Amino acid sequence: MSELGEELRKRIHPIETVDRSVLEVLDYTYGQKRDISVYIDQPEFTSLCPLSALPDFGRITIRYTPAEKIVELKSLKYYLLQYRNVGVFYEHVVNRILDDLVAVLAPHFMEVVGAFTPRGGITTTVTVKHGTERD
């Protein structure tokens, strides 16, 4: 591997370095009265390719129906920023985000979509869900 390639690979952190404890939750007082759909869009998501250490760019969309808790948005931003130096495949990152958010929020329903920019002429969109959408 070239010197540059070795230098890039030194920047990769494992996914285990992402700390979900930065996620702050707030009480949602209307959870027993009515269902709402919360839609969060992060159009500047970055992580690293675990093979090449080159940056991957994408849009993470989170949609959920809260039960008793909602996520505080600044803490979510800091949580997602942790992936900037993490080497992770697209399929793994959306699953990890879903797992972490479900663990702290326990929503009725949640969907995480990762729409990643083209690499080598191929675009990838990954969707993962928890629970069942309620009418």
User: Could you confirm whether 99 is annotated as catalytic?
Assistant: no
Backbone angles phi, psi at 95, to 5 degrees: -65, -40
Q: Which of 55, 59, 57, 63 is nearest to 42 (CA)?
A: 59
Distance CA 130, CA 74 (A): 23
Cβ contacts of residue 24 below 8 Å, gap of 6+?
A: 71, 72, 74, 75
Q: Is 39 buried (19+), middle (13-18) or exposed (0-12) by CB count in 10 A?
A: exposed
Instruction: Choose, from 35, 41, 56, 99, the residue flagged as catalytic.
Output: 56
User: Could you confirm whether 56 is annotated as catalytic?
Assistant: yes
**Residue 116, beta-bridge partner list:** 58, 124
Instruction: Choose, from 19, 27, 35, 49, the residue flagged as catalytic.
Output: 49
Please list the active-site residues: 49, 56
